[in-house]
Every structure is written in C-alpha cells, then in structure tokens.
Structure 1
Amino acid sequence: MDKLKLYTNSNFQALRGQGDPLADEAVKSLVAKPEWIEIINSWEEIPQDIPEIFDSAVQKYFNFFNSSTDHYDLEVLKKGQLFFEKKGDSYLGMLGFYSLPYCYAFADGAEVLVRSNRIVNQIGERLGETAVFLMDIFAPGAFYEDKKAILTCAKVRLIHAFSRYFVEAYAKDWDLKFGKPVNQEDMLGTNLAFSYIVLRGLIKMGRRIDREESEAILAYWKWIGYLIGLETKNWPNTAREAIEVDRLIRKRQLRASNAGKQLIQALITYYKKSIPEPLLTERVEDILYFFLGKEASDALGIVPKNQLEGGILGLIFQYSGWKSYGGKKSYASIRRMMEQQQKEQFGKVMKIQLPVRNRS
C-alpha cells in the first residue's frame, strides 16, 4: 500500500510540469532534419543497427527500444494478449464509447487535443490510428516475437513529443496553467483510460472481470507505459490503486471546458454518420452518458434521451459483435474487420506515422 502515498495533490501537480526528456530531445533533432522522419516512417520494425546518419539524440532514443526487450515479462505479455484475443471487440468498443470520451472530460488535457486539427476535423482517421495502435500492441506474440509493436510504441511516444514541441513553440494561446502539453499526469490518466477504464466499462455492462484479469491488464499497460515514456513508479498494480489514481485525477482535472465539449461533439457527429449498427447510432448520447456517468457527462454537455440499463447495453454490444463475427471471433477476425472497414471508409488501412512538415 506504500504506492498509495504517491497519490497526492502535490505530487501530481509536479507531474504536470514533466514531459519525456528522451523523446523530447529526439524530436528537436527530427524537426531540424525532417528527412530522418521519412526514413523512420519507412521502417517495418526498428533496425538493430540504428543508421549512423542520425545524431546522438535520435540514436539514443531508438537504442532504448532495442534494449527494451531485455525487460519484458513473458507471462504478463501472454496474459494480456489472451485477454484481448477473447474480448478484443468489446475492448475496442469501450475505447470509443468510454475511454476517449472520458479523457475529453479532463479539461487541461483536452486543451492539447483540441489544438490538433486532425482530432477535430479528421476524427475518423485519428480513431482509426488509435485502433491500429491497440491492434499492434495486443497482437499475438507482440514484443517477444513480433517486433512491429515496439516500433508502434516508439512512434506514438514521438508523436506525443511532437505535440509538446509544436504546442509550446507555436500555440500562442497556450496557458501555462494547463501544465506542460502531454505531461506525466495526462499520460498517466490516458494510460489508465485505456486499461482500467476499459475494464470498468465491461463490468458496467455485466461482464465478469476477475482479479487476475484486472491485474494482468494493469501489468500489460505498465509495460506499454514504460515504452511510451510514462514514469511507471506512479502506475497502479492493483484495482485498489487504480481506483485511487482515477479518483485523484478526477478531483484535480474533471470539469467543463470548451475544448472538451468541442471534442465530444465532433465524436458524436462522427459516430452517427459512420457506425453501421442502428442500435448504437440511435443511442449515442445515451450510451456515452451510461458509461461516463452524470459528472463527466455534465462536464461535456451530454444530455441523454433515455436511461440505459447495463445488461441491455451489454446485449446490444454482444449482438453487434455476433453480426460482425458470428461464432468465429478472434484477434485475426477483428483485425480483418477493422482493416476492411478502414479501406471502405478511407481507401486505405491506417498506419501510425510521424508527422512530416511541409518543407516548401
């Protein structure tokens, strides 16, 4: 229980001023040498011998990932990937209807998100990239056999660092009271939203999640956090600790903001236009309200038309999954379905790519 002593207002306020020095130094170099970004974007996995044309900051960055495979726990990886194999479609559903909207309710963190035009104006593509991230990191054999997931994490970490760089360098309306863009508290909260909040959403719908599964997912995301620049000493190992972290961040950050309301309205509009299942699209606000609860929904301006019951909503999600996969749901079938939908909607399968600035 000593970890609970870390979860104080003063400690978390300090986290708001902390970024990710390893990635931040690499991004300074990549901004100066955009041709290096194109090289990285061409990789299928991180090469063991990092190109000598890269300077020391970029070489140090990617050498961290090449040495990271010495630190994984094979049992943790296998348990997390087995969980996703069984519940991957529901996991992605919780990501879209609970995790991301939940992040929007945290006012200061939402200020970074709303400053990315792609999140507001190209929300479908951004959601597609997030889904690709989830599918890559939970792929069977990811990290210990399939090294593509390591490159995915390396790119996501750099994307966060690019956000810090460009907001601090060019966002004239950035208020220092928001903290450093994509700071350690916001990264902790986002990782929690992609793990513990997903589990909480499944439980809300009546799905049984036992202690072993809960701690397996928390351990998996501790590993992901380590790779993407999170200070893992603050990461919860148990459901009790996760509850306390979430409670503290809610108390500190959950409040109404124009940024959060703009983000959620863009998401709602996109869902109503793009989700092919009428049982879901006709109830978007109701579903969001069910998962988020009154406090977060009020902060985002979500007004439900009807109150939903968890068991009924669980059946709706199960029916939607059955229509998509029948009795053959697996990681492979979920990935095929995701890629098919992306090809139909965007004309391509989305990829995690570093931003390349126009040099003209």
Structure 2
Amino acid sequence: MENNSTEFEWNGIDLESLRKVMDQPADDAVQAVFESHSMNHLREILIQMAENDSAISSAYPQPMQDLVKSELTLAFTPHDIKMFEQTHHIWKKHGMNFIFILFFRALPYTYMAEKPANVLKMTKLLTEHPERRIFETAQFVFDVMDKDWWKPHKRGILTALKIRIMHAAMRHALLNSRDGEKWNPVWGNPISQEDLIATNQVFSLEFFKGMAMMGEELTQEEQEAWFHTWKTIGKIMGVQEDLITENVADAWDLQHKVYGHLFKDETVAGILLTEALVKTLHHFHFPTPLILLMMRKLLADEQFSDCFERMLGPTYRRDYPEIFAKPETHEERAQHEEVLRGHFHKHLGAYYSTIKEKRDGILKDKPDAKPKLGFIQKLILWIKGLFGSSPDKKHLIDHHIDFLHTILHHKTTGKPVEKLEEDMILESMKKFGGIMVGILSLHFRKGKQSGFRIPENLKEIWSLT
C-alpha cells in the first residue's frame, strides 16, 4: 500500500526511505573481505573475535581493520560508565526475568515485522537452526551485560562487532544471491537502519514492558540507565546517530512509529519464525500449552491486540482452541480467564513434575561438577554441616524447583493447592527465566572455551556453581 502522508515519519525521517539505508562501514569492510579473500576468511575473523584472543589480524583488508579498531578505541565518559555500572546491577537482579521476557514477549512480538522477518526465514537461521539462534542471542546479552563489558579485556564490544559483521555478511549474501529465493526489493534492504534501531530498542523497551506486566516495574532511573547502555551498544552495532534518542519516552515514540510501519504488512514469515521459537523452547522442557498460555499473557498489547492470535493462531489454534477463544461479553471473558487459569495450573504442575524428574539428567553434565568423594571426605563435610557450614550449595534449577513447589502446595499441609490466583501465576512465571538460564549454563566446554559462557562472578551470584 502506497503511503504519501507523514504517518510513517519520525523526527523528519521517512521510515520507508530508511528501509534502504544499511550500515556503510560494516558493508564496506565485508565487501573488502569478499574481494580480497573468501568466505573462509570471514569465518576466521568471526571465530577470532568470538575467542577474543586478538581483535583482528593485520592480514585482513584495511576497511575491516579500521571498523574494528574504531569501535575498540571508543572513549566513554564518567556518565556513560556510571550508567553501565547501574545497568549491570539491574542485570544481576533482573537478568533472569530479562531472558524470559526476551523469548516469551520480545521475539514473538517483533516477528510481526514481516519485512525483516524475511531475513531470518531466507537465511534459515531460526527455522533450521533454532537452538543455535537462541544460544547466540542469549550469549550476546550475557556478554554485553557483563561487568566492565566495554573494557578491552572483556568480550562485550567484540561480541557486538561480531554480530554487526555477521549482519553485513548476511546483507551481502542476500543481495548477491544467484541461487534460491531472491530478496524482494519491495522489502527495502535487509537489516536496514529501521530494523537495527527497532531491534536495539527492543532490548530495552520490551524488557520494561514485560517487567511491568509481571508486576515488577523498573523505576524511571533504572529504565534510563538501562536504555543508555543499550543505545550505546546500538551505536557500536551500526545504528546511525540521528536514530539514537535522548531518553526512554522519545525511544517509545520512535518505536511505536516503527511498529506501526512494519506491523501493517500481512504476516507470513513471522508465523514460521514464531513456530520455530515455540519448538526451540521445548529444549527447556516447556510443554506447548504452557508456552502458549505464557505468551498469551505477555503478548497482550494495547497497540496490537491481535498479536497472539496473529502470530500463533495459524499454527496452534486447531489443537488448542480454548486458548485462542474470543468470548464476547465481560462475563464470558471473566469465565474464560478462570478456565485458562485452571489450564495454567494443570500444565504448571506437569512442568514442575517434569523438571523434578529430569533434574538429575539435566545437571549430570554440569561443567564444574565435583568429583565423587571418598568416605573420609564425606565424613568431614558431614561434621562441617553439624556446625552450620553448608558446602553443597543448591544449583539455580534446584532453587526454582523448590519455589514452584511452594506455589503449587499449601505451606501448612503440604497438599496441592486447589487453584492458582493471578498473582501466583505471575510469581511462577518469574522463575522460568531462572530455569532457562540454569539449563543454558550447562552448555559450556571448559577445555575448548566453547559453548555458552556465563561470567564466573554471575555464576556465584545466580547459584550456577
């Protein structure tokens, strides 16, 4: 549909025109690699940056060296650093909720943007490699939320740069593909500036939205600190300066404009991505009905009230009609919510039983698992226990299994509760991110420094050791 008004304009910037604008420095760097070397060399660059052994070899083309050096030599003000440090404290407190919100609200919600969704569909990054995609997204978040992430010896800037270069490589591949499905110019250019700023702001704005929906709204000061950190990361990842807003309120204004512009198209690719995401969440042992019930809650939205139905209905409505029912009257809606709370209760109980049953199997390959103890060592630990010492700390997964038990059982009698109230459902949802992080933390091989990395200080704080 042709648009000749200022409906999709923000701060004098036409969003439709913005779809043509990419990331020139990163695109030039990748083009130089293709012209002078090969795809293998580009892979070597990305692997080298991921390992953080050195920033980049002098053997690579000058545009690639210039791009990396320009970002690694960024100077940050005392105000920047204060904001970064405050964000890290928020991360330590709410990071597990962030992971939950990311996968149950932010990703499925933004898959309504059909034009950028075609990038993931055509590159098959989520539809054919969903588990890897989840690990990569979560790893990126952990690296840039780490303490002192911006310093040279940390992975934060290099991880952000790695993704920026990957984006440029994907643009090059999609725009120059001679085989298979061709990129449609009607979509603009792949991973455009509109896509970059919208995606970057999702890591702030949808986190704030999700926290409020779960009853733990961040203060304005916390939101501004978190947003300041993520917009700095956005600059490192190639977002142009005139799209970086001063504050959260202006960011929401831009984000709503972008949502209105991108969500107006018919959803096709986004439905496939959402289905792949649901299947990937089975990795964390979530049953499909529980995933749908939680997404239904978190995808409730004032601007796009049809989001849940639009993204998940085509795939799951037939098998789970009650979850997608649309009662008309207030009384019918209240009764329907009561029925869904009953479903949530049933599936939460089943999930609790599943995690308890699979707990030993999940934790058996814990990378820092302690060796079997001899009789004398066990005796010493037992004696220490008599004096109040607790050498065997619970793992994060155990803590959350215990919490789910308290939600599902009466404190006094220990018997199962008859029904869950809304606040109990929200409290249980706050624990799912912890179980996800606990499972993610086990995907790490110390010898090869590969797999999913979680900083040691965070492992201690989050009971992952």
TM range (shorter): 0.7 to 0.9
Native 8 Å contact 1:29 1:55 kept in 2: yes
Percent identity (aligned): 22
Native 8 Å contact 1:9 1:248 kept in 2: no
Task: Name which of 236, 248, 264 aligns with 2:274.
Answer: 264
Partner deviation per Cα, 1:136-175 (whole Å, 9 max, x = no partner): 0001121136431111011010011111111111165321
**2:12 & 2:76 partners in 1: Cα distance?**
34
Report which stretch shifted further, 51-60 or 20-29.
51-60
**1:58 & 1:145 partners in 2: Cα distance?**
18
**2:289 & 2:190 partners in 1: Cα distance?**
35
Q: What does residue range 184-203 of structure 1 map to in structure 2 within 5 Å?
A: 184-203=193-212
Aligned length: 330
Secondary structure at the aligned position of 2:20 is classed as coil
Two-structure CA RMSD over aligned residues (Å): 2.8
Mark the runs of 5 or more structure 1 residues left unpaired by the alignment: 326-333, 352-360
Letter in 2 for 1:317: M
**2:25 & 2:433 partners in 1: Cα distance?**
41
Task: Name which of 63, 69, 72 aligns with 1:66.
Answer: 72
Bigger Cα Rg: 2
User: 2:136 aligns to what?
Assistant: 129
Distance 1:321 1:166, change over 3 A: closer
User: 2:309 aligns to what?
Assistant: 298
User: 2:93 aligns to what?
Assistant: 86
Distance 1:108 1:22, change over 3 A: same
User: 2:415 aligns to what?
Assistant: none
Secondary structure at the aligned position of 1:340 is classed as coil
1:115 aligns with 2:217: no
Native 8 Å contact 1:74 1:144 kept in 2: no
1:31 aligns with 2:24: no
**1:39 & 1:277 partners in 2: Cα distance?**
36
**TM-score normalised by length of structure 2:** 0.65
Partner deviation per Cα, 1:20-43 (whole Å, 9 max, x = no partner): 011001111223423533155134
User: 2:228 aligns to what?
Assistant: 219
User: 1:282 aligns to what?
Assistant: 289
Native 8 Å contact 1:256 1:300 kept in 2: no
**1:193 & 1:77 partners in 2: Cα distance?**
18
Task: Report the Cα offset of residue 187 of structure 1.
Answer: 0.8
Greater share of residues in helix: 1
Secondary structure at the aligned position of 1:101 is classed as helix
**1:23 & 1:31 partners in 2: Cα distance?**
13
Report which stretch shifted further, 73-82 or 145-154.
145-154
User: 1:165 aligns to what?
Assistant: 172
Native 8 Å contact 1:156 1:228 kept in 2: yes
Partner deviation per Cα, 1:63-120 (whole Å, 9 max, x = no partner): 1122224568211211111111111110111111111112211111111111121310
**2:12 & 2:292 partners in 1: Cα distance?**
32
**1:40 & 1:118 partners in 2: Cα distance?**
16
**2:298 & 2:139 partners in 1: Cα distance?**
23
Distance 1:205 1:268, change over 3 A: same
Native 8 Å contact 1:65 1:227 kept in 2: yes
**2:9 & 2:86 partners in 1: Cα distance?**
27
Partner deviation per Cα, 1:194-247 (whole Å, 9 max, x = no partner): 111111011011112110011111101111001000113222333321321222
